[in-house]
Amino acid sequence: MIQVQEFDLVVVGSGSGLDVASGLTARGRDVAVIEPGRLGGTCLNRGCIPSKVLIHRADIVQEIKNSEEFGINSRLEKVNFDDIISKVNSEVHGESDSIRESLEASENHTLFRQEAGFVDEKVLELSESGERIRGEKILVAAGSRPYIPDIEDTEDCEFWTSREALNPGRKPESLIIVGGGYIALEMAHFYDAMGTDITILERGELLLGREDREISEKITETASNRYDVHIDTSVTGIDDSGENKKVDAGGKTYRADEVMFATGRIPNSDRLDLEETGVETTESGEIRTDGKMRTSVDDVYALGDVADGPMLKHTANHEAEIVFKNILSGDEYEADYSGVPHAIFTSPQVAGVGKTEQQLEDSGQKYLSATYDYADTGMGQALHEEDGFVKVLAGEDGEILGCHIVGPDASQLIHEALVAMQAGSGKVNDIKDTMHIHPALNEVMDRAFSQL
């Protein structure tokens, strides 16, 4: 008879699910954590943290290169690419190791460094040892991985995804990026600043096609001035047999030292043998959850990229808080997605919350729209900012329906709209009637909302 180890909670994955695990172990519960890779999840090891630390270096390089327009004659003598990559990844690995050591030292955590699959609704079997563990409650937080489209020869060729781009063996002189979403634009910004020639191949009509159309148009314009951008261009083949890698797309052949696929991410649900549980998934593989983060099986929860909500670290953290509270309270709490923001750390930055104008048009909802340019504010003039603007969408009653920003510090400015939508009345007046510091950059928010 196979022995089954019993736990109060089993957490599959070591990203935001660790918040739930730590909260319960602090209350004396026995928790198992299953994680075959580095501790800390996608964000720490292969996503948000390493990418933004690298991008900060790119921002510094860009400031130096643009300093002459401010009357400052500076010179960029050298970019120590290998040192930058090594230091950033060393810092990330150090944080991951610290998490692992903390779990291993905990009396109430049990860490399993193997892959696992379900053999029953609340029982998982470890892939290497064959051990089985059962949880009174289960939390599936197994994350996601890069999606590779079904293109001829991809199985036989070497190429990058975001994983390799964040820790490459060398700096390529040229890089083809397939895709035009946030990962593509962030990595293009970094590698261009490091001195790599960038080509972007995007099958859609605009880069960042899910953003408000005015934002997408502006980003496509600014990116085209900096990189070799080809929109409406679908990739049909890839070949790495020659000196350079070749990509066939739109009837043409493009060549570069490396090719990176930045074509989205897919949930890791297909690696968990969920068919043994009755846990329902969507057509695209996300685990179906209700507002309380419960799956179709009692006492089995899911959160983060593997679940059917937004693939954002801050939403995963919010979902972890909901799961933790519900395990303690008996499912009294629901996740709130009414104002989920996002930011893209390319140059210029992009941020948004709420509906886009396209979505409002498609739904037939009546709305008002206003924009205000950074250049028409004192700080915008000081920054010589010619491309940035804030766009506000509101209902006829003044309700804030959406806010979209492109320009410096967009990821910070968006929080003014967030506070109004989540903690204020949710109306335009929350921002319009607030005194703003002159000539701080946030005047552009004040003036955009005052247009309404």
Query: Model pTM?
Result: 0.95
Asked whether residue 286 falls in the same domain as residue 370, the answer is no
User: Residue 296 is part of a domain; what is its CATH number?
Assistant: 3.50.50.60
C-alpha angle 191-374-348 in degrees, rounded to nearest 5: 10
Query: Which of these is catalytic: 93, 318, 342, 438?
Result: 438
Q: 249, 432, 311, 435: which is closest to 48 by C-alpha?
A: 311
318 among known catalytic residues: no
CA atoms 200, 206, 210, 213: torsion sign: positive
Position 1 scores a pLDDT of 59
Pairwise CA distance, residues 401 & 365, whole Å = 10
- The residue segments making up the domain with residue 395 are 348-450
Helices (H), 26-134: 41-46, 48-65, 81-105
Q: Which amino acid is at 317?
A: N
For residue 399, the cross-strand partners are: 427
Q: Long-range CB contacts (< 8 A, 24+ apart) of 287-293?
A: 287/140, 291/334, 291/335, 292/322, 292/326, 292/331, 292/333, 292/334, 292/335, 293/319, 293/322, 293/323, 293/326, 293/335
Q: Note whether residue 409 is domain-resident.
A: yes
Q: Note whether residue 338 is domain-resident.
A: no
Asked whether residue 293 falls in the same domain as residue 219, the answer is no
Asked if residue 157 lies in contact with residue 176, where contact means CB atoms within 8 angstroms, the answer is: no
Q: Note whether residue 336 is domain-resident.
A: no
Q: Note whether residue 343 is domain-resident.
A: no
Q: Which of 210, 231, 263 finishes a domain?
A: 263
Q: What is the pLDDT along the chain (452 residues), one digit of tens a residue?
A: 578 999 999 999 999 999 999 999 999 999 999 999 999 998 989 889 999 999 999 999 999 999 999 999 999 999 999 999 999 999 999 999 999 999 999 999 999 999 999 999 999 999 999 999 999 999 999 999 999 998 877 888 999 999 999 999 899 999 999 999 999 999 999 999 999 999 999 999 999 999 999 999 999 999 999 999 999 999 999 999 888 999 999 999 999 999 999 999 999 999 999 999 999 999 999 999 999 999 999 999 999 999 999 999 999 999 999 999 999 999 999 999 988 999 999 999 999 999 999 999 999 999 999 999 999 999 999 999 999 999 999 999 999 999 999 999 999 999 999 999 999 999 999 999 999 999 999 999 999 999 98
Return the structure tokens found at 419.
């506070």
Q: Which of 263, 278, 303 finishes a domain?
A: 263
Q: Note whether residue 32 is domain-resident.
A: yes
Asked whether residue 69 falls in the same domain as residue 121, the answer is yes
Q: Note whether residue 340 is domain-resident.
A: no
Q: Work out the burial of residue 384: count CB atoms within 10 Å of its CB; fewer than 13 is exposed, 13-18 middle, 19 or more buried.
A: exposed
Asked whether residue 129 falls in the same domain as residue 173, the answer is no
Q: Note whether residue 334 is domain-resident.
A: no
Q: 396 vs 365, 390, 424, CA distance in Å?
A: 10, 19, 18
Q: How many domains does the chain have?
A: 3
Q: Note whether residue 339 is domain-resident.
A: no
Asked whether residue 63 falls in the same domain as residue 158, the answer is no
